[in-house]
Structure 1
Amino acid sequence: MATGTEPGARPRTRGVHAPSRAAIPQRHLRTDRWWLAPAATAAGLLLFVVYSTWRAFADADYYQAPYVSPFYSPCLAERCEPMRDGPNWEVVGGWWGLSPALLILILPLGFRLTCYYYRKAYYRGFWSSPPACAVPEPRGRYTGETRFPLIWQNGHRYFFYAAVLVAGVLTYDAVLTFRDASYGWGHMGLGTVVFTVNALLIWAYTLSCHSCRHIVGGRLRHFSRHPVRYRLWSWAGRLNGHHAKLAWASLVSVALADLYVYLLATGAFDDPRFF
């Protein structure tokens, strides 16, 4: 019986080179450019992380009436610019001098980090776990999400509840963009379109979440006895089929909404007004 120590014998290892697996010398048999997808994913997520980190620590240029950056909304610190000449926000405190965005972004960031699609995206893009279908990861042992720190992914459902509140706040912000301090309701600028589209995409991404689908229709034994929940479950299921696209679209839209406010606040251009 081979022990793995005989001359010429394959050393005992785990993963795809374990003794019970086929002895294929190649690491994988794919001949296409399988690395493009994880590389593009990593580049896209890294670009957003760099941009959002810069904006979160900037603590400036996040408000230009009637627009407030989604990274800073709801702005609760005493020094928030909307407190001075925009909508009335409730003051919670100075937050120890921290940028308000560092506290606000915790909730949507937690929701996206624990999202089923984003797990797949950054597991493949950054950790190569695995980098692509039929391409083994470079580790000999896989423990999944059963140990710290990845076990915290089980908190996704609770972040979903927080994400619903965030989507509600962004919807409120979008409604306020139809109001001008000088002319009242009836204002509509390019920023109004940007914020409205962003709110819609945020809602679509949030409601297409797997947790949402389970909450509205999970654990039901008889759909016929719960027609309303069945209808909601069906709608969530159709949205869920586009969850990956909505994840990227909402990620881009929230960054563009923040960038738009930044450009207005720094005087790069004036908000084009339709009426």
Structure 2
Amino acid sequence: MATEATERPAPDSPPPAGGVTAPGRAAIRERHLRTDRWWLAPAATAAGLLAFVIYSTWRAFANTDYYAAPYVSPFYSPCLAENCEPMKGGPNFDLLGGWWGLSPAIIILIFPLGFRLTCYYYRKAYYRGFWASPPACAVAEPHKKYSGETRFPLVLQNIHRYFFYAAVLVALILTWDTVLAFRNSDYEWGHMGLGTLVFLANIVLIWAYTLSCHSCRHIVGGRLKHFSKHPVRYKLWGWVGKLNERHMFLAWASLISVAAADFYVYLVASGAFDDPTLF
């Protein structure tokens, strides 16, 4: 005897389109049975990511107020263009010659943003927040077809492991910038300002997020048939696994910290206030 959950649609109903309405699935007319505010999480995710996109786009094209001795904005380091502000002791490289007249941040942000754009957590975040694929657990996505990441352009997500190598290089450069932040405005060592603490917090979160990446976990412990024969790699794999458990938190924390570090440099460079000296 058919129950209400297994009754098929009335003859005048449109034919099933597939997915959760495909033949053989329970004929539940509602898109979902959730009664909570399930839309809050994807909406908050979309708002947070959109805010960062707007801010980083403004700062990337501003091409000004990104250096206040001894601090250089993480959006602009290393400087690869000819028109960079002088950064004494900083990683400056005029690799593009005089033809590049745009902001040097446009070159740099390609690599960390590419790393984050292809990151497993961020895929989940913007797939749900912007594409509703799916918008939440137990809520069907509105798309009629689903090909996953097997077709262009999503197949390009597979280059995440290569962006990881670039992200490590960028993190090393930002580490050197943090070391240089222990100088004063006259480039004398032994100084610590509020900006130094901002840079320290940022680089710790950047490294934690980078090393918690799934690609890093695979590089450290992947393709091993016997962990007992590789005790060092097994120990590293365990440490990376612990970080990986906090990958979502580290993704957001490092996103906020890198924007905060850039904004701090902007405030000091624009003359909004002087960097307070702690010692």
TM range (shorter): over 0.9
8 Å Cα contact 2:91/2:173 also seen in 1: no
Which one of the candidate residues 97, 103, 108 is aligned to 1:104?
A: 108
For each residue in 1:34-58, what CA deviation from the matched residue of structure 2 results, as whole angstroms up to 9, or x when unmatched? 0000000000000000000000000
138 and 100 in structure 1: CA distance in 2 versus 1, 3 angstrom threshold: same
CA distance in 1, matches of 2:250, 2:231: 27
Deviation of 1:181 after TM superposition, in Å, equals 4.8
Letter in 2 for 1:91: D
CA distance in 2, matches of 1:234, 1:133: 29
Which one of the candidate residues 80, 90, 98 is aligned to 2:93?
A: 90
Match of 2:232 in 1: 228
CA distance in 2, matches of 1:74, 1:99: 12
For each residue in 1:28-86, what CA deviation from the matched residue of structure 2 results, as whole angstroms up to 9, or x when unmatched? 00000000000000000000000000000000000000000000000121221134x56
Deviation of 1:94 after TM superposition, in Å, equals 3.4
Structure 2 gap ranges (5+): 1-7
Match of 1:239 in 2: 243
Pair 1:217 & 2:221 matched? yes
For each residue in 1:62-118, what CA deviation from the matched residue of structure 2 results, as whole angstroms up to 9, or x when unmatched? 0000000000000121221134x5636232223521110001000001000000000
* Secondary structure of residue in 2 paired with 1:137: coil
Which one of the candidate residues 40, 49, 52 is aligned to 1:48?
A: 52
CA distance in 2, matches of 1:177, 1:55: 21
Match of 2:268 in 1: 264
The within-5 A match list for 1:1-275 is: 7-83=11-87, 87=90, 89-92=92-95, 93-94=97-98, 96-182=100-186, 184-275=188-279
Deviation of 1:21 after TM superposition, in Å, equals 1.2
CA distance in 2, matches of 1:5, 1:125: 31
CA distance in 1, matches of 2:90, 2:170: 17
221 and 5 in structure 1: CA distance in 2 versus 1, 3 angstrom threshold: closer
Deviation of 1:274 after TM superposition, in Å, equals 0.7
21 and 268 in structure 1: CA distance in 2 versus 1, 3 angstrom threshold: same
Task: Tell me whether 99-108 or 182-191 shows the greater mean CA deviation.
Answer: 182-191
8 Å Cα contact 2:220/2:237 also seen in 1: yes
8 Å Cα contact 2:194/2:276 also seen in 1: yes
* Secondary structure of residue in 1 paired with 2:205: helix
Letter in 2 for 1:269: F
8 Å Cα contact 2:134/2:140 also seen in 1: yes
CA distance in 2, matches of 1:259, 1:128: 31
Match of 2:4 in 1: none
Deviation of 1:5 after TM superposition, in Å, equals 12
Count of residues in correspondence between the two structures: 271
CA distance in 2, matches of 1:30, 1:5: 21
8 Å Cα contact 2:116/2:122 also seen in 1: yes
CA distance in 2, matches of 1:216, 1:262: 37
**Aligned-residue identity in percent:** 75
**Coordinate RMSD, CA, aligned:** 1.6
228 and 26 in structure 1: CA distance in 2 versus 1, 3 angstrom threshold: same
8 Å Cα contact 2:81/2:100 also seen in 1: no
TM-score w.r.t. the length of structure 1 is 0.95
8 Å Cα contact 1:82/1:88 also seen in 2: no
Structure 1 gap ranges (5+): none
